[in-house]
């Protein structure tokens, strides 16, 4: 009789509220269908803890939920006195 093993999954928490510099995890396919191409090689973003909006040159380029963002991008905090729409 075969015994099924339970596979463990890494729990991913949503990106917390804040302003960040986002960089897509590497390697990733530049297929454009998943939004990573718009963010590559990096972009400013704002998270409200549920949704993350990415900006380049002051324009919104993409958005996704905060759990997806946390799983697929690296983030570095940016000072809150700077807005993603600042050039």
- Whether 1 maps to a domain, the answer reads no
Q: Count of domains in the chain?
A: 1
> For the whole model, what pTM was predicted?
0.74
Residues of the domain holding 39: 18-77
Are 66 and 50 in contact, with CB atoms under 8 Å apart?
Answer: yes
Question: Is residue 67 situated within a structural domain?
Answer: yes
Of the chain, the percentage scoring pLDDT greater than 90 comes to 53
What is the rounded average pLDDT of the residues 39-64? 95
10, part of any domain: no
Q: Are strands 59-65 and 51-56 parallel, antiparallel or unpaired?
A: antiparallel
């Amino acid at each position: 009789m075969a015994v099924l093993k339970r596979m463990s999954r890494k729990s991913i928490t949503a990106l917390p509220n804040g302003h960040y510099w986002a960089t897509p995890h590497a390697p990733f396919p530049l297929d454009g269908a998943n939004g990573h191409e718009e963010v590559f090689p990096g972009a400013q973003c704002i998270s409200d803890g549920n949704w993350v909006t990415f900006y380049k040159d002051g324009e919104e380029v993409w958005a996704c939920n905060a759990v997806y963002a946390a799983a697929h991008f690296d983030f570095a905090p940016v000072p809150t006195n700077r807005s993603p729409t600042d050039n």
